[in-house]
Structure 1
Amino acid sequence: MQNANLLLTACLAIVSVADVMAQSKKQNVLFIICDDLRPELGCYGQKQIKSPNIDHWAAQSVLFNRAYCNIAVSGASRASLLTGLRPTKNLLQAWNTRTDVDVPDAVTIQKCFRDAGYITIANGKIYHHQDEASMKYWDDVMPPVPGTAMGYHSEENLALMQKQKETGKGRRGYFYEHGDFPEKDYLDWQIADKSIQDLKKMKKQEKPFFLAVGFIRPHLPFVVPQKYWDLYDHSKIEIPDNYILKPGNNIPERALTNWSELRAYSGIPEQGPLDEATAKLMIHGYYASVSFVDAQIGRLLKALKEEGLDKNTTVILIGDHGWNLGEHGTWCKHSIMNTCLHSTLIINSPEIKAPYRCEQIVEFVDLYPTMCDVAGVKQPIQLEGTSLLPLLKSPEAKTKGYGVSRWANGFTFIQDQYFYTEWRDKDERIIDRMLFDHSEDEDENYNVAGENENKEIIEALSIKLLENRGANYEK
């Protein structure tokens, strides 16, 4: 009996060691999400932008040129992609969406990975709310300190914020700020620093890790150290060609945003358009913010390589949705136009056979199953997206070939060069339509849904939209 017990103990020890070794061979996942980062990067052909760190890294990765968020607002977009569920008619649709209210039975991505034996860490803004029930599935959380996301340093802006806090009235500080303040005092620098320290610690751990890093910029206000502002010659900043709507555009008013988010800041008119000078300041501030967050991402990716973790880590970089930068006279997100739906997506992984630019249509609901597949983690049955792993392995691979996005009660079906949008009332009757052919009108200046020659394509796209709005659309 004693010999038998010794043999059993030895076998269990071997199994335990085998389990540890299997865990250590699993791929790590580094998920980087930037607030409001549209594909305004050099690697996306935006040569006016200085984003050297992301550009260099993208050249070694798969860059998705046609990636689309499923809803153009931060809270809902994050809740959707972190549960793998499409926004429905009534759920996952607002800036303050909570997964524990809208989809309480959903398996969040951090629970999925923690259950699979991963260390799970969230630094910065991942979910909109820091008190969601599923936050308990992170092993460590570095939340933005209340108020620090604004990031102001100047006495003027701090005074404006203090006045608003004390009185409950007035406006926030100015929509931009730049000055010679220590870079380490900025929240995004601190988020990067915490994440770098985490990488160093986890290198010594036997478990694989799922590290989510949420940077604040280029979200408003555009608060950056002076050197990033100085990267751009203000006299060379240009406003979009379609800053003023084109005559005969036929774009429904409901398709555009009134950018109320921006009007909460000092220096912005309470109504009406921005004058050209203010518009150029907006663009300058956005550019500088992109360059600032590029530097922080560069620090993080450099640390990943220096620690030798890049060989066994899949890195996914996204912007949580697109952003209007003056197109059609609009700013911020909250619209159904391509500028709000089209977003940044770049993936670097040991699975990649060769870096390339992918022209396949992909959606953010595809990210959860992708992260599961690269890590060898079983996908929850709830997921509505399709894994992008085949696209990482081969440029010849194909996706399902479409995407579905929404804003308010408008849903857009994206296929080939077409962007078809329809709005329905509470009884599911179509009340408005919009069609853009990007092969002829990439900037979406003219809605051609009313032209007779497009009747058949509209009917076909409408059917496909109804078929693919999501299994839980009516919930």
Structure 2
Amino acid sequence: MKTYYILLLLFGASLITYGQDKPNILFIAYDDLRPLIGAYGEPEPHTPNIDLLADQAVRFNRAYVSYPLCLPSRAAMLTGVRFDNKWAPKGQKITFPKMIAMQKTWPGQLRDNGYWTATRGKLYHGKVPGGDKSSWDIAGKYWTSEYHDGGPEIEKRIVEIGGRQDQIDIYHEKGSGPGSLMYASVDCPDNMLNDGKVADDVVSYIKRKRDKSKPFMIACGFARPHMPWVAPKKYFDMYPEDAGKLAYLPKDAKKDMSNEPFGGRKGSEVWNEGVSDETAQKLIRGYMASTTYADAQMGKVIKALKEEGVYDNTIIVVWGDHGYHLTDHGKWRKNTGYNVALRSPLIIKMPHSKTPKVIENLVQNIDIYPTLMALTESEMAEGTQLHGKSLVPLLKGEKVDWEDLVYTCAQESYGLVTDQYRFTITKEGEYLLYDLKKDPYEWNNLAANKKYNKLINEFEGKLKTVVWNKPGNVL
């Protein structure tokens, strides 16, 4: 009997050692968060938790997504495959589950390599697809009620609401209005809204529900600052009434959308979707209040890591699924080929890191998959082929021959970004070329200037080599 207990103790110790040897992972995804935060040098938004993490982490200043829209961006990040959002098997519709089924996701790879895995909130485009539930020990919910931060109980507590009236009406009618250009200040506790519920559940995963004999990978997906910009009143109160500034607009620029290369959503054919500058400023204040609310929920999750004594041995990834216009070029949303829509926040804290580092190399959402595989020394399923590259050499400060070039697509307009230029060929065949160093707001299209013909020909050649919609080797 004594021998049995000794063996049991030794076995338990080996499990604990295994769990300590492998780093944990906390993956935090924000919905529609562009780099309009303090960590990226923007002084107005209050994001103390992201900023504090960035002070101990690697911040990628020029991280891009393959496609600036939630569905294809998240599919690419999870599968390592570059999607152009028009892929589908012959005769079938594009669906998110079919994209995710392209090859084993990195959460599935990590679970196969001994990780305890759990997700809650918006990591996928909605709930965990049935075909990928095997990647999770806990495939947590996306929403927890029929209402998306709306409905009768929330309505009673709204103290301020504004934006486009027709979209406010949709919010009142449906209790959600996920694409509504509006804001609402709600006199409620954090966990009356969805992101507060997400944080509470993720804290419970960290403190109580996980298998402590294994390393964990927990994915925490916040819905804000996606529209509508609904947040508790206390986060609106952190901003003065006149907070929020409209995007840069050249003095000679006309508020004319008739030649705009990226149309899209109904309403975008008019400048700022028809709202006045005064209303636009209030909407941006709502966006910032929603961002601060989501940041506060992340703070609760980080605090739980520290209280459990696992913070130092945890890789923490903070990622936004694309950028956002917020009146840039007279637009509010995403899904354009502009730099402001393609660029996204990416911060990675390595275990035991205490010092900040900024990386200027161009990286993409498809690089996250190979990076996590390398950091955890995980074996990948046979046949896995990735479009991205591991960021580990950059994270470790190693000298590496890094090609600063990323490929992008939006509304069937294909392009690329280099350390200096953004080049795009639109669906109609129009060429767009911007010098991001001299013209960061992209108001001067250089494509018609013969001086750039050689460069354009070079970029066209590179675009012909790109692999989309199927697993492939690194370019």
TM-score range, shorter chain: 0.7 to 0.9
- The root-mean-square deviation of aligned C-alpha atoms, in Å, is 3.6
Query: Could you tell me which of 77, 81, 100 is aligned with 2:77?
Result: 81
CA separation of 1:151/1:392 partners in 2, compared to 1, >3 Å: closer, same or farther? Answer: farther
Deviation for aligned residue 1:458: 0.8
Moved more, 119-128 or 152-161: 152-161
CA separation of 1:395/1:47 partners in 2, compared to 1, >3 Å: closer, same or farther? Answer: farther
Counterpart code for 2:76: S
Output aligned runs, 1:9-408, within 5 Å.
18=14, 21-88=17-84, 90-91=86-87, 98-102=95-99, 104-130=101-127, 131-140=129-138, 141-151=140-150, 153-155=154-156, 164-165=173-174, 175-201=182-208, 205-242=212-249, 246=253, 253-254=260-261, 256-260=262-266, 273-350=274-351, 354-380=355-381, 381-394=384-397, 396-397=399-400, 399-408=402-411
Deviation by residue 1:351-394 (Cα, 9 ceiling, x = unmatched): 75852111010000000111111111124522111011111111
Deviation by residue 1:38-92 (Cα, 9 ceiling, x = unmatched): 0010110100111111111101100000000111111111111100100147328
Q: Which runs of 5+ in 1 are unaligned?
A: 1-5, 264-268, 426-430
Q: How many residues of Structure 1 are paired with residues of Structure 2 in the alignment?
A: 452
CA separation of 1:249/1:432 partners in 2, compared to 1, >3 Å: closer, same or farther? Answer: farther
Aligned partners of 1:66 and 1:362 also within 8 Å: yes
Counterpart code for 1:305: K
CA separation of 1:241/1:413 partners in 2, compared to 1, >3 Å: closer, same or farther? Answer: same
CA separation of 1:192/1:445 partners in 2, compared to 1, >3 Å: closer, same or farther? Answer: same
Counterpart code for 1:309: V
Deviation for aligned residue 1:315: 0.5
CA separation of 1:138/1:261 partners in 2, compared to 1, >3 Å: closer, same or farther? Answer: farther
Output aligned runs, 1:423-434, within 5 Å.
423=426, 431-434=429-432
Q: In 2, distance between residues paired with 1:37 and 1:172? A: 15
Q: Residue 418 in 1 paired to residue 421 in 2?
A: yes
TM-score scaled to structure 1, two decimals? 0.85
CA separation of 1:32/1:257 partners in 2, compared to 1, >3 Å: closer, same or farther? Answer: farther
3-state DSSP of counterpart to 1:113: helix
Counterpart code for 2:294: V
Q: Which runs of 5+ in 2 are unaligned?
A: 162-166
Aligned to 2:164: none
Aligned partners of 1:259 and 1:333 also within 8 Å: no
Counterpart code for 2:425: E
Deviation by residue 1:235-280 (Cα, 9 ceiling, x = unmatched): 24321222898369999523x34544899xxxxx999532112211
Aligned partners of 1:161 and 1:172 also within 8 Å: no
- Amino-acid identity (%): 31
Deviation for aligned residue 1:439: 1.2
Aligned partners of 1:53 and 1:297 also within 8 Å: yes
Aligned partners of 2:267 and 2:274 also within 8 Å: no
Aligned to 1:266: none
TM-score scaled to structure 2, two decimals? 0.85
Q: In 2, distance between residues paired with 1:261 and 1:302? A: 42
Q: In 2, distance between residues paired with 1:245 and 1:212? A: 46
Deviation by residue 1:320-339 (Cα, 9 ceiling, x = unmatched): 11111100000111111111
Q: In 2, distance between residues paired with 1:237 and 1:165? A: 28
Q: In 1, distance between residues paired with 2:182 and 2:46? A: 21
Deviation for aligned residue 1:408: 1.6
CA separation of 1:371/1:149 partners in 2, compared to 1, >3 Å: closer, same or farther? Answer: farther
CA separation of 1:172/1:315 partners in 2, compared to 1, >3 Å: closer, same or farther? Answer: closer
Moved more, 332-341 or 127-136: 127-136
Counterpart code for 1:227: K
3-state DSSP of counterpart to 1:456: helix
Counterpart code for 1:191: V
3-state DSSP of counterpart to 2:73: helix
Aligned to 1:462: 460
3-state DSSP of counterpart to 1:64: strand
Deviation by residue 1:138-160 (Cα, 9 ceiling, x = unmatched): 11113213544344612488995
